[in-house]
Amino acid sequence: MSQRTFKIFRYNPETDKKPSYKTYTIEVEPSWTILDALNEIKWYHDGSLTYRRSCRHGICGSCAMQINGLNDLSCELQISNYPKDPIVIDPLPGFEIYKDLAVNMEPFYAALKRVKPWLINDNPPPGSERLQSPEEFKLMGDSIACILCAACTSSCPSFWTDEDYLGPAALLKAFRYTFDTRDEGFEDRLEALDNKHGLWRCHKITNCFTACPKNLNPTEAISKLQRKVVSEKW
């Protein structure tokens, strides 16, 4: 056990005039993650501290937040990765604050829906599975592993300045279906993609790539989509 200090963003719009930071010093175990520390604070020191969490092993995407200025999943990061006190924890930037570290994710999910995130193929399916070779399967890359934690979209300056921008997560989903050899919905998705709030808002800042806790590369996916749009149109 050792003592560590956490400086955590606090804001309840119902009762607080403005946000503030609250500092907690607690005993932590060597193997603990940032989420373990938040749980310790909430469960034994301050029940009002509010954040989302569920699976605590990096697959549900609930607990994305900003840790020492970088978006990441609090459940996946060991406290020992951050040798200096205090460890500063903020909510994901770019979203309305519901309370403390919990933000309004509705715009994020609304953007996702705009890219029609489902397989589009009107041909009647065969009696068994549609065939897809291992090489074709790999055209989707790692995009199928996206957990929709919003770490990428929330790290994107283009998203901060354009609330209508689809953002890297929704574009990665568009990539996932566009590069699925079973999908025929390229034209259907063009309206959402091919405009200034879509693909062309991406300025290759690559924050999304750095922020992704699953080591996915939305920037690269967006570039591939852009090339496809250009080559199909002209």
Partner 1 sequence: MIHRHDVIIVGAGLAGSRAAVEIGQTANVAVLSKVYPSRSHSGAAQGGVAASLANESKTDRWEYHMYDTVKGSDYLGDQDAIELMVREAPETVIEMEHWGCPFSRTPEGLIAQRKFGGHTLDYGKEAALRSCYSYDYTGHVLLHTLHEQCLKHGVHFYSEFQVLSLIFRDNRAIGVVAWDIVNGGLHTFYGRAVMFGTGGYGRAFKITSNAHANTGDGLSQVIRAGLPVQDMEFVQFHPTGLWKSGILVTEGARGEGGYLLNGEKRRFMEDYAPTLMELAPRDVVARSMQTEIDEGRGIDGKNYVFIDVSHLGEAKLKERLPQITELAMNFAGVDPVKEPIPIQPTAHYSMGGIPANANCRVTYDAKRSETVGFYAGGECSCISVHGANRLGTNSLLEALLFGRRAGKQIVEDLSHLEFPELPADYEDAATEEVERTMAKDGEEKAATLRAELQETMMMDCGVFRSRGQLEKQRDKVEELEERYKNIRVEDKGTRFNTDMLEAIELGHLIEFSGAIVEGALQREESRGGHARKDFPKRDDVKFLKHTLAWREPNGKWKLTFEKDVVLKGITHPGFEPKERVY
Contact 183, 120 (CB under 8 A): yes
Q: What is the closest distance, in whole angstroms, from the C-beta atom of residue 219 to partner 1 in the complex?
A: 21
# residues contacting partner 1 (CB under 8 A)? 60
Fill in the per-residue mask, 8 to 27: x = in contact with partner 1 (CB under 8 A), - = not in contact. ----xxxx------------
Distance separating alpha carbons of residues 24 and 101, to the nearest angstrom: 15
Contact residue for partner 1 among 125, 187, 233, 234 (CB under 8 A): 125
Both tokens assigned to 89:
């924890």
Q: What is the closest distance, in whole angstroms, from the C-beta atom of residue 24 to partner 1 in the complex?
A: 14
Question: What contacts 136, CB < 8 A, 6 or more positions away?
Answer: 181
Tell whether residue 88 is a contact of partner 1 (CB under 8 A). no
Q: What is the closest distance, in whole angstroms, from the C-beta atom of residue 68 to partner 1 in the complex?
A: 17
Tell whether residue 42 is a contact of partner 1 (CB under 8 A). yes
With b for 16 or more beta-carbon neighbours within 10 A and e for fewer, the 199-208 pattern comes to bebbeeebbb
Tell whether residue 118 is a contact of partner 1 (CB under 8 A). yes
Q: What is the closest distance, in whole angstroms, from the C-beta atom of residue 69 to partner 1 in the complex?
A: 20
Comparison of 40 and 164: residue with beta carbon closer to partner 1: 40
CA dist list (Å): 84 to 31, 68, 101, 129: 16, 10, 21, 53
Tell whether residue 227 is a contact of partner 1 (CB under 8 A). no
Direct distance between the N- and C-terminal alpha carbons of the chain, in angstroms, rounded to an integer: 63
Q: What is the closest distance, in whole angstroms, from the C-beta atom of residue 205 to partner 1 in the complex?
A: 26
Tell whether residue 76 is a contact of partner 1 (CB under 8 A). yes
Q: What is the closest distance, in whole angstroms, from the C-beta atom of residue 50 to partner 1 in the complex?
A: 5
Tell whether residue 44 is a contact of partner 1 (CB under 8 A). yes
Comparison of 38 and 225: residue with beta carbon closer to partner 1: 38
Question: What contacts 67, CB < 8 A, 6 or more positions away?
Answer: 34, 74, 77, 82, 87, 88, 89
Alpha carbon of residue 76 to chain centroid: 14
Comparison of 62 and 219: residue with beta carbon closer to partner 1: 62
Which chain residues interact with partner 1 by CB under 8 A?
12-15, 31, 33, 42-44, 46-48, 50-62, 76-78, 98-100, 102, 104-105, 109, 113, 116-119, 125, 128-134, 136-137, 140, 144-145, 147-148, 176-177, 180, 182-183
